[in-house]
């Protein structure tokens, strides 16, 4: 049985009320965040279990995707201890409605769940299998995407890749009803293949063989058929971790770049956050590096209500684009326009290690940044042990308004958050703790689900 832990813990107040609370606001509904961490739950078995993505479903419940190596505890319908995609549907009280595992006999790791307009799901990640639910493998890890109905039954599944290590980390449903997968391509193993229009090279299409790893985007139609594939990068490691359909209908991929050649024209340091904007035919519109002289990695991007974008990740620099560095590694969050112009940036953290993995804009236009922290100083008021889940609430100009640590004495991480229609926020990740705020561990690493009200 799972255990839900009620916690009465003040966090922060979010309000979109006017100064005169008695006045009727005819422009937008008033929303107030209720100052408390409502509950948390750990789910899993005796092996490693991790949650990477969360969405609200069309019927108002919650879907969580990650992977599991367990075949006991909360995990049902699985007999082996290799990694499989693990998809769970939960109600708003964090009770399991149903769960499904997907994969074969090798390593399959779910990374992103999308709630689709037909009430079902698209899930994606990467696979090394060529059996079970996986009908094709091109060598080592491939992108693996599955379209599911509302109860988790497979409508179609597709693998994409070559002989090397090709991994999908994010996906979206595009406004034309199709899908876009984003991750990285081991172009050294593909021999330069991966830039095409459907199944054949397009006549006159710009084609340049690059180096080690590339941003790789794959556009699919609603039935999972490939419309085109494009890679972008240079001669070193370039990896895309998130993607969004822009306000103008084009596509923005974000991640990190180690390269200083080919598609990269303004490198700033060792690893930069790299943003690539492409049109719906896969043509490059613009690309831009953000960062300093050390290492920056971009993990998450979201559209903002005012027509711009917020991007978050981590930084080890204290120069160029980064100001107010706190120490070691900080959350780094910045806002930019449709044409890549930075509007503001700020760092968050303490003297130790912080890494932001997700950013969302709340109904109040404030920003919630989720990730992990090892610090207990500067902007971080508490640390329970090693890495804690750390939630930073910032205003629409990047100023820190409040923060919250959740964890125990072991390793606890946040990976993604979603705000529900009722205003509550669900944060998912993993935990190895069994003390302090996290009092139950099923074995090794569990899925961690936190509800903030």
Query: Higher confidence at residue 4 or residue 104?
Result: 104
> Residue 428 has what pLDDT?
98
> Residue 36 has what pLDDT?
67
The answer to whether residues 186 and 213 touch, using CB atoms and an 8 Å cutoff, is yes
Query: What is the average pLDDT score of the chain?
Result: 90
Please measure the distance between the N-terminal and C-terminal CA atoms of the chain and give it in whole angstroms: 24
For the chain, give the percent of residues with pLDDT over 70: 89
pLDDT digits (tens, 9 = 90+) for 377-394: 999 999 999 999 999 999
Phi, psi values for residue 226, rounded to 5°: -70, 125
Q: Average pLDDT in the 31-50 region?
A: 82
| pLDDT tier at 212, thresholds 50, 70, 90 | confident
pTM, rounded to two decimals: 0.91
Of the candidate ranges 1-5, 50-54, 175-179, 435-439, the one whose mean pLDDT is the lowest: 1-5
**Domains plus CATH for the chain?**
38-200+208-452 (2.130.10.10)
pLDDT digits (tens, 9 = 90+) for 110-137: 999 999 999 999 999 999 999 999 999 9
> Residue 31 has what pLDDT?
54
Q: What angle do CA 72, 129, 220 make, to 5 degrees?
A: 110
**For residue 406, pLDDT beyond 90:** yes
Q: Measured between alpha carbons, how far is 343 from 67 in angstroms, rounded to an integer?
A: 37
Q: Measured between alpha carbons, how far is 69 from 291 in angstroms, rounded to an integer?
A: 36
Tokens of 304: 């903002």
Residue 189 is given by DSSP the state H
153 CB burial (10 A radius; 0-12, 13-18, 19+): exposed
pLDDT digits (tens, 9 = 90+) for 73-117: 999 999 999 999 999 999 999 999 999 999 999 999 999 999 999
């Amino acid at each position: 049985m799972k255990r839900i832990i009620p916690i009465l813990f003040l966090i922060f107040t979010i309000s979109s009320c006017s100064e005169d609370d008695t006045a009727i606001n005819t422009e937008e509904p008033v929303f107030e965040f209720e100052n408390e961490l409502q509950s948390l739950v750990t789910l899993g078995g005796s092996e490693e279990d991790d949650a990477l993505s969360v969405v609200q479903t069309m019927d108002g419940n919650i879907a969580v995707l990650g992977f599991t190596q367990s075949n006991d505890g909360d995990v049902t319908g699985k007999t082996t201890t290799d990694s499989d995609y693990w998809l769970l549907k939960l109600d708003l009280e964090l009770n399991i409605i149903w769960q499904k595992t997907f994969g074969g006999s090798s390593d399959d790791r779910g990374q992103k769940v999308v709630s689709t307009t037909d009430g079902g799901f698209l899930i994606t990640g990467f696979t090394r299998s060529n059996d079970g639910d996986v009908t094709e493998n091109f060598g080592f890890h491939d992108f693996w995407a599955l379209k599911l109905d509302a109860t988790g039954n497979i409508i179609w599944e597709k693998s994409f890749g070559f002989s090397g290590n090709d991994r999908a980390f994010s996906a979206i449903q595009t406004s034309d009803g199709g899908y876009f997968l984003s991750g990285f391509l081991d172009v050294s193993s593909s021999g330069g293949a991966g830039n095409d229009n459907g199944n054949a090279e397009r006549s006159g299409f710009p084609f340049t063989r690059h180096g080690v790893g590339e941003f790789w985007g794959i556009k699919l139609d609603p039935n999972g058929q490939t419309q085109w594939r494009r890679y972008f990068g240079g001669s070193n490691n370039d990896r895309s971790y998130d993607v969004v359909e822009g306000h103008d209908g084009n596509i923005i991929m974000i991640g990190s770049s180690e390269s200083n050649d080919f598609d990269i024209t303004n490198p700033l340091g060792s690893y930069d956050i790299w943003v690539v904007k492409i049109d719906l035919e896969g043509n490059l519109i613009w690309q831009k590096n953000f960062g300093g002289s050390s290492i920056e990695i971009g993990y998450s991007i979201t559209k903002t209500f005012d027509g711009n974008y917020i991007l978050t990740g981590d930084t080890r620099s204290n120069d160029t684009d980064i100001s107010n560095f706190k120490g070691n590694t900080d959350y780094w969050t910045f806002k930019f326009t449709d044409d890549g112009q930075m509007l503001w940036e700020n760092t968050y953290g303490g003297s130790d290690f912080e890494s932001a993995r997700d950013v969302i804009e709340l109904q109040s236009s404030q920003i919630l940044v989720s990730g992990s922290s090892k610090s207990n100083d500067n902007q971080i008021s508490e640390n329970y042990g090693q890495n804690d889940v750390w939630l930073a609430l910032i205003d629409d100009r990047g100023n820190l308004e409040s923060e919250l640590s959740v964890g125990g004495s072991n390793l606890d991480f946040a990976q993604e958050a979603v705000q529900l229609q009722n205003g509550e926020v669900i944060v998912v990740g993993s935990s190895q703790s069994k003390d302090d705020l996290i009092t139950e561990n099923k074995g090794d690493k569990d899925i961690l689900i936190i509800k903030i009200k």
